[in-house]
Amino acid sequence: MVKTGGLGDVSAALPAALATLGIDARILLPGYRQVLALLPDYREVARIAPMADFPASRLLRGRMASGVPLYALDCPELYQRPGGPYQDEAGSDWSDNALRFGLLSRVAALLGSAGGPLDWQAQVVHCNDWQTGLAPAYLRYAAGARAATLQTIHNLAFQGIFEPELVAALGLPPASFSPNGVEYYGKLSFLKAGLQFADAITTVSPGYALEIQSEALGFGLQGLLAARKDSLYGILNGIDTGLWNPATDSLIACRYAADTLASKPINKRALQRRLGLAPSPAVPLFAVVSRLTAQKGLDWLLEIAPQLLALPAQLALLGGGGDAHLERGFLALAQGHAEQVSTTIGFDEGLAHLIEAGADAFLMPSRFEPCGMNQMYSQRYGTPPIVRATGGLADTVVDCTAATLADGSASGFVFQQPTAAALLVAVERAERAWRDGTTWPALQRNGMARDFGWEASARRYAAIYARLAEKQ
């Protein structure tokens, strides 16, 4: 599948959860090679003529593994190329990203417009991140009955900002380029367009919904978001509890559940062996699975590595998509401490699962985190997370204190300050708790008992869709 982070997880799991609520949810994705490969039995269901600077394209219909209908927007010159969805193999943004995601937005809007290309018209077009931010703008200017729009923010750090000359190339009316439209400080902003024109806005945790209205985490859009706060909802992401279940996971060495936690160390041994770490049960193994970007606060982890290793402890990191400085730092650390530190650069779903199962504790010291998925996966895998108190991390991890241990809610370690020193204190607290034979199993069991499934959140989305559709 095409996944660079949590958006991939959500795009697959939320529509499936909506379908179980009886909602006719359908997915539109660019026709990347990996997407077409998923659709061996696709049918062409529409041809879309060239518009503005967009080339001709077509819609191919298939199904996700969950059964949810998937439309792939086939336009080989825009979507079929080596490299990632947003960047080339060298890590530079594709120079035609405005056209690539402009077309995606345009076609999403057509699916919600009267006279669209299918014999089916969406009542609500649910847009995720900047890549579909122009859809609400196109719909706002469309004639005839149109779908309502919902813009979801998964990460405000990515906004899709382009040169103003592209307004015409993208087929937007000249009047849309204004401060009340798609303009953002003289540029064209896809995300701003979505936030300006969508009928409602959601983001992926209640905490982040508040944070993005402030200067510190609003990335320049805090004013607009605060002005729209009555239409802005924070809905926590769920997790795919079928895919991320230690009792059934075929990607781990030994399956286990809360009442068979004694089997979990088999996964630790397998992980240590696979990564070339010393096969010792007596040192805690801390782990990271992450995009290597400034957002994730992993520079603090590099800073405290000497103290962490002196505890003693082991560290396993799986990371990709990123910052060359962080990559070099973690590779050098592993080189200097081969038996204690392992760094794997790249994207590896199987290893991500084995790490969740085999590590003792999971590290997410993010500077900001709209929701975060891995801290939920790790609680489900009995691998208590160590997180900074921000966004969805603060909403999903309960810090271990005497009071939270007593009331059975403690599930990890939460630190407040955005500093390496604060991370170190949390790591030291975790190490002490790991050595304590009653605290650690309590944290594991509390985390494993929590319900992070999609159902409650899918109901909240469904309620918003219903309200929006009613108003159209």
Residues within the interface to ligand ADP (CB under 6 A): 5-7, 9, 289-291, 318-320, 347-349, 352, 371-374
Phi, psi of 462 (to 5 degrees): -60, -40
Are 159 and 138 in contact by the 8 Å Cβ rule? The answer is no
Question: Least distance to ligand GLC from the beta carbon of 15, Å?
Answer: 14
Rounded to the nearest angstrom, the gap between the alpha carbon of residue 337 and the centroid of all alpha carbons in its chain is 31
Residue 352 binds which one of ligand ADP, ligand GLC, none, with CB within 5 to 8 A depending on kind? ligand ADP
Residue 62 binds which one of ligand GLC, ligand ADP, none, with CB within 5 to 8 A depending on kind? none
Taking CB positions, which residue lies at the least distance from ligand GLC?
Answer: 6
Interface with ligand GLC (CB under 6 A), residue from 7, 148, 354, 430: 7
Smaller CB distance to ligand GLC: residue 284 or 370?
Answer: 370
Are 161 and 184 in contact by the 8 Å Cβ rule? The answer is yes
Tokens of 208: 């982040």
Q: Taking CB under 6 A as the criterion, which residues in 366-385 touch ligand GLC?
A: 369-373
Question: Least distance to ligand ADP from the beta carbon of 188, Å?
Answer: 25
Question: Least distance to ligand GLC from the beta carbon of 57, Å?
Answer: 26
**Helix/strand/coil for 412:** strand
Is residue 17 a contact residue for ligand GLC (CB under 6 A)?
no
- Residues with Cβ < 8 Å from 334, sequence gap 6 or more? 317, 341, 342, 343
Question: Least distance to ligand ADP from the beta carbon of 458, Å?
Answer: 17
Question: Least distance to ligand GLC from the beta carbon of 55, Å?
Answer: 29
Residue 318 binds which one of ligand GLC, ligand ADP, none, with CB within 5 to 8 A depending on kind? ligand ADP
Smaller CB distance to ligand GLC: residue 222 or 401?
Answer: 222
Burial (CB < 10 A; 0-12, 13-18, 19+), residue 106, is buried
Report how far residue 422's alpha carbon sits from residue 399's, in angstroms, rounded to the nearest whole number.
14
Long-range contacts of 160-167 (CB under 8 A, 24+ apart): 160/97, 160/98, 160/101, 160/130, 160/131, 160/133, 160/189, 160/190, 160/191, 161/187, 161/188, 161/189, 161/190, 162/97, 162/98, 162/187, 162/188, 162/189, 162/190, 163/187, 163/188, 164/188, 166/98, 166/102
Is residue 10 a contact residue for ligand GLC (CB under 6 A)?
yes
Please give the DSSP secondary-structure letter assigned to residue 32.
-
Report how far residue 254's alpha carbon sits from residue 9's, in angstroms, rounded to the nearest whole number.
24
Cα–Cα distances (Å) from 123 to 28, 32, 104, in that order, read 15, 26, 18
Residues that bind ligand GLC (rule: CB under 6 A) add up to a total of 14
Question: Least distance to ligand ADP from the beta carbon of 61, Å?
Answer: 27
Question: Least distance to ligand ADP from the beta carbon of 155, Å?
Answer: 6
Question: Least distance to ligand ADP from the beta carbon of 157, Å?
Answer: 9
Neighbours of 273 (CB within 10 A): 12
β partners of residue 48 = 57
Report how far residue 131's alpha carbon sits from residue 29's, in angstroms, rounded to the nearest whole number.
11
Phi, psi of 460 (to 5 degrees): -70, -40
Residue 204 binds which one of ligand ADP, ligand GLC, none, with CB within 5 to 8 A depending on kind? ligand GLC
Choose the stretch contacting ligand GLC; rule: CB under 6 A; options: 6-14, 56-64, 338-346, 354-362.
Answer: 6-14
Taking CB positions, which residue lies at the least distance from ligand ADP?
Answer: 6
Interface with ligand GLC (CB under 6 A), residue from 146, 154, 268, 367: 154
The contact mask relative to ligand GLC for 391-430 (x = CB under 6 A, - = no) is -x--------------------------------------
Is residue 204 a contact residue for ligand GLC (CB under 6 A)?
yes
Question: Least distance to ligand GLC from the beta carbon of 297, Å?
Answer: 12
Burial (CB < 10 A; 0-12, 13-18, 19+), residue 300, is buried
Chain residues that interact with ligand GLC, rule: CB under 6 A: 5-7, 10, 154-155, 204, 237, 369-373, 392
